[in-house]
């Protein structure tokens, strides 16, 4: 619905609401309707101005770095090498253990059975692996934060 149609609808709603108290001028309703329509338009303009002022007072979103982009090592061309580099630095057993538990949804016990590790060894490897990745990714985030 366009603004003019909406304002006309509001003016006619006012006409209906005040139908018992409207004064006719020379038997015509037109003067009352014109004044009401201009008042409705003025109110709508003020309301729109208040809304625009409210939006202007809202804080702007921070245009800082996106941590996900840093962690994944995304560059402007959409490549993701940060996490890939960190994964490539892992040994094959560690990489498979991480993939089985983090991506495939295996429990640590199930992943250890698949890889032929004891439960204790698997838990220790996974703990060290997570700590090493967290440190590696945290270092990347910190370095990126210093650049901006």
CATH number at residue 130: 1.10.10.10
Domain match, 75 and 130 both = yes
pLDDT at residue number 139 = 59
DSSP class per residue in 32-82 = HHHHHHHHHHHHHHHHHHHHHHHHHHSPPPP----HHHHHHTB-TTS-B-H
pLDDT at residue number 25 = 82
Domain match, 8 and 45 both = yes
Residue 142 and residue 125: Cα distance in Å, rounded?
25
pLDDT at residue number 65 = 63
In a domain, 62, yes or no: no
Provide the residue range defining the domain that includes 141. Answer: 67-147
In a domain, 38, yes or no: yes
Domain match, 20 and 52 both = yes
pLDDT at residue number 124 = 92
User: Which segments of the chain have a pLDDT < 70?
Assistant: 1, 62-84, 137-148
pLDDT at residue number 44 = 93
Domain match, 44 and 94 both = no
Number of domains in the chain: 2
Asked if residues 15 and 29 have their Cβ atoms less than 8 Å apart, the reply is yes
């Amino acid at each position: 619905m366009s603004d003019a149609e909406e304002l006309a609808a509001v003016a006619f709603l006012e006409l209906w609401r005040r139908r018992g108290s409207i004064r006719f001028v020379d038997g015509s309703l037109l003067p009352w309707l014109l004044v009401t329509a201009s008042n409705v338009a003025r109110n709508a303009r003020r309301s729109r101005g208040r809304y625009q002022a409210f939006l202007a007072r809202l804080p702007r979103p921070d245009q800082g770095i996106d941590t996900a982009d840093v962690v994944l090592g995304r560059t402007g061309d959409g490549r993701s090498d940060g996490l890939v580099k960190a994964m490539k630095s892992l040994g094959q057993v560690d990489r498979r253990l991480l993939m089985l538990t983090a991506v495939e949804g295996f429990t640590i016990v199930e992943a250890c059975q698949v890889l032929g590790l004891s439960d204790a060894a698997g838990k220790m490897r996974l703990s060290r692996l997570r700590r090493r990745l967290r440190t590696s990714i945290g270092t990347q985030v910190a370095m990126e934060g210093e650049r901006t």
